Structure 1
């Protein structure tokens, strides 16, 4: 009787471990998927900013816009429209899931306010900087912006006294090396001022996203990820459209400029099709990233999401270069190598890569025991 009970107990333990392992692997799959979708989002948003009235603004017919408006105001407007569309998708999702009332109730809670702060950092600041960098330097800035996990690890040590061991320090060094490797390709044959500024602004995006990760980590741990995403996207959309864009408009000559451009952009059908798609992809990538983090851990989830350092340039090349027939979206082989090295560095920061092999061996043993 004892032998039967022991056998049943061992089988229950093995089943529980296998269930935990499957949950962990699903989290990794979601986080990897979020990285892929983030890369596709980058390409779709950039494509939207070449269609309709945007083609005139960035083309020969600049509608009398100043250099400042073209470089900064339009980028802020593009990011604002994307985040507004993303907020719309997130609200529709909350309504469909019956969580809209929960969304309203959670906004004014401590975790909700923390996510709002994170959204203000990651949306208007990081998101707009990312779009500006892409417009100035092309897809070369995508892997550089992926330095955010390394920055988050450093800020976590400074702000929250979190662990920063030798393995994580090595991973940060690898990421920094990869960023220099990628950045160096932008200066071959003579560096343009636009490229240099774009790379610098991409670093600002990485800093802001790294800080957002530190701030949001605490808030998202105490709230339903689906509600947290809704709070983030709505906050980002409102802040971008009604705060940041008017500020840039004033700097460009008057708030009326930003209003006129926003009306033209929202009524440009060919562009809005792509913005609606990019907004949906933005919502999906953050949703799957948050869900993946909750299942496999924020560190590994962020590392898997960091694969957009490769998928971003890839989809830009396929959608803008191959499908759109636009020049300037191909990257040299050194940049692709740097993107892969960046992914390895991000993985090393989040965990010991050898742990994946150990986990695989444990799964084999569980299968044999079953």
Structure 2
């Protein structure tokens, strides 16, 4: 019995760390590839390029998640979720987390470069915690306050980076839109948290995280497709991308987006929300690395240090190291018995 418990705990820890690391890797690569595709002639000459890119990214993410839901026989339950209060709350949260958050992020990538946008974006859990403190009256521990402060210091330092403004003439505009993405994603978490705390009459609903995620991307797909794209004449750009076969890049990149969220939920399931969220921040490292390898971005010591400071702050905020290493020690003790 003890051997089974030992194998279960150690297995969960390893799986959680694997999926948590995969989140950072996939999102970092997703970020850089979105920046690379965004530099195409068609998108560079279109005033609506960033919104088109965000639409195609989330539309294909939704497509892949629908296929996964079909395979797992969860698609009908996803649509049934829309009729519930929790589903409607997810729809509302997705409005700020998907169209606003993703649009801001893609614009940030375009103007401030993937390495900088990704490094700044990972502070959203800390911003969400601050919003929860004021809106949901949730308490912040001293460790959380220290971690958030460290992340914000790193972010502020990143904002004052001495970048080559000849290469990125609208760098600060990009950083401002990345902050909009941070606010959107943080607000999404707060709305979901508020709904889950207030909605007590639907505890019997056993919706899976994958169903909530599919509903999130359905919301993004519908809002972009039915409202935003017609407003900016975006389908004309989509047609040009299709004619030039550049549209084919987006399904591949969207696989990374779908992997990111599915892996995040798996990581949270295995090792908890705190460590799962903290491992998200490693996307900043991977974005910097892939920016150098794929885009040829110069990785200055200043950028590297700021990125590490931000990641450190997220880990301090999100992870109770005593509790986490306590799990590892428990596994070790079980082995010794």
Give TM-score, length-normalised by structure 1.
0.81
1:228 maps to what in 2? Answer: 212
Which of 202, 225, 237 in structure 1 is aligned with 2:221?
A: 237
Gaps of 5+ in 2: 197-202
Which of 319, 326, 331 in structure 2 is aligned with 1:351?
A: 319
Which of 114, 119, 138 in structure 2 is aligned with 1:143?
A: 119
1:176 maps to what in 2? Answer: 152
Gaps of 5+ in 1: 1-10, 250-256, 322-328
Distance of 1:18 and 1:163 partners within structure 2: 35
Superposition deviation, residue 206 in structure 1: 0.9
Secondary structure of 1:167's match?
helix
**Alpha carbons of 1:189 and 1:105: their partners in 2 closer, same or farther (altered >3 Å)?**
closer
Instruction: Give RMSD over aligned pairs.
Output: 2.4
Residue correspondences, number: 328
Distance of 1:144 and 1:301 partners within structure 2: 18
Q: Are positions 1:263 and 2:239 aligned together?
A: yes
Distance of 2:101 and 2:138 partners within structure 1: 23
Asked whether the 8 Å contact 1:111–1:218 carries over to 2, the reply is no
2:200 maps to what in 1? Answer: none
1:8 maps to what in 2? Answer: none
Which of 10, 15, 27 in structure 2 is aligned with 1:38?
A: 27
Which of 34, 41, 45 in structure 2 is aligned with 1:55?
A: 41
Asked whether the 8 Å contact 1:149–1:210 carries over to 2, the reply is yes
- Rg larger for: 1
Asked whether the 8 Å contact 2:38–2:110 carries over to 1, the reply is no
Q: Are positions 1:90 and 2:65 aligned together?
A: yes
Superposition deviation, residue 193 in structure 1: 5.4
Residues 185-244 of structure 1 deviation map (CA, whole Å, 9 limit, x = unaligned): 245779965111111111111111111123345778952012122111222122123222
Residues 283-321 of structure 1 deviation map (CA, whole Å, 9 limit, x = unaligned): 111111122223322222111112111112222222222
Secondary structure of 2:160's match?
helix
**Alpha carbons of 1:229 and 1:218: their partners in 2 closer, same or farther (altered >3 Å)?**
farther
Map 1:314-353 onto structure 2 (within 5 A).
314-321=289-296, 329-353=297-321
Distance of 1:194 and 1:260 partners within structure 2: 26
Give TM-score, length-normalised by structure 2.
0.89
